[in-house]
Amino acid sequence: MSRSPRTLLLALISAALLGACASTPSSTVTIPFADKRVVLLGEVHDNAAGHEARFAALKAAVDAGWRPVIAMEQFDRERQADLDAARKGGDADAVIKAAAPAKSSWNWTFYKPVIALALQYDLPLIAANVSRADAGKVVRGGYAAAFDPAALKAARLDAAPAADIVAGQQHEVEVGHCGKLPQAMVPGMAQAQIARDAFMAQVLRDNAQRGVVLIAGNGHVRADIGVPRWLAGVPASQVLSVGYLESDKDAKAFDKVVTIPAEKRPDPCATLG
């Protein structure tokens, strides 16, 4: 049966990431991240090709025997009990309905295959994100406005983040808002991003012994200023961050990069005042 150009492209992307040897139908597939304790798989949120390529890589690893915990940015930490209860029915749609944030712009079509894979293989699903409400509190009042001292200590936010992380996140906030964000808002919004990274990292540290994969945006999986910077105690040799990028911009921020076709979208800066 012939393949479409899109299918062939995704197969090539997956093979590049997996290191697949395709000389014969029975070729051995090498999974370069299956021996890692912590794997971070990024995304461009609206890029369908990137989601498909990432899922193909994850599925190949799981089909080959990898059994990680799957931590997802798309679910807020407060919804873990809902997530656990809904998964008992074995239906991905039910999990999404029960545990998705009330106000969300996530395209759940992209994440349903990941959830279904976790249910198929009975892999733990962990809600990893700081909620929009808590992030808003951080923006307005700092970390202590949203989290008690015990939570801050567990997430390692009881001490000031490294200066280069703060500077890097502030830069990303400014760039992400096309340089049009009021300067007074930049530090708080950067703090919210840092809080998300720190709490996601806590989930990864807690599950590193078994093996864990994070499904999150490229900004979170950056090895230079993102979640990996909060993984003290996990050997660097056991951590792999993979960026799914539409260009080579910021490629050095990841341990490995998969280049994906760029989505056609309006200029995001055109509508900003």
**pLDDT confidence band for 179 (50 / 70 / 90):** confident
Are 70 and 111 a contacting pair, CB within 8 Å? Answer: no
Residues 6 or more apart whose CB falls under 8 angstroms from that of 59 comprise 113, 117
Geometric angle at alpha carbon 51, from 46 and 55, rounded to 5°: 165
pLDDT of residue 273: 59
Distance CA 7, CA 170 (A): 38
- Picking from 28, 88, 51, 83, the residue whose alpha carbon sits closest to that of residue 216 is 51
Length in residues, the chain: 273
Write down the pLDDT at residue 5: 41
Nearest-CA neighbor of 201 among 190, 191, 212? 212
* CB 217 within 8 Å of CB 72: no
% of the chain surpassing 70 pLDDT: 88
83, 75 Cβ separation under 8 angstroms: yes
pLDDT tens, position by position, 27-66 = 333 457 878 999 999 999 999 999 999 999 999 999 999 9
pLDDT band at 270 (very low <50, low <70, confident <90, very high): confident
Q: How confident is the model at residue 269 (pLDDT cuts 50, 70, 90)?
A: confident
Domain ranges of the chain: 36-214+222-259
Average pLDDT over the chain reads 88
Is the pTM above the cut of 0.75?
yes
User: What pLDDT score does 210 carry?
Assistant: 95
> Under a CB-based contact definition with an 8 Å cutoff, are residues 255 and 51 in contact?
no
Strand ranges for 118-261 from DSSP E: 125-129, 212-215, 239-245, 256-259
The 8-class DSSP code of residue 211 comes to -
Summarised one tens digit per residue, pLDDT across range 111-154 is: 999 999 999 999 999 999 999 999 999 999 999 999 999 999 99
Q: Which of 24-28, 69-73, 79-83, 112-116 has the lowest mean pLDDT?
A: 24-28
Mean pLDDT of 191-205: 98
Q: Are 114 and 70 in contact (CB under 8 A)?
A: yes
Cα(37)–Cα(237) distance, integer angstroms: 9
Q: What is the mean pLDDT of residues 223-232?
A: 98
136 in Cβ contact with 145 (< 8 Å)? no
- Comparison of pLDDT for 178 and 187, the residue scoring more: 187
Angstrom distance (rounded) from CA 273 to CA 2:
48
pLDDT at site 3: 40
CA nearest 13: which of 64, 48, 45? 48
The structural architecture, per CATH, of the domain 36-214+222-259 is 3-Layer(aba) Sandwich (3.40)
Q: Say what the pLDDT of residue 272 is.
A: 66
Tell me how far the alpha carbon of residue 202 is from its chain's centroid. Answer: 14
Burial class (CB in 10 A: 0-12, 13-18, 19+), 95: buried
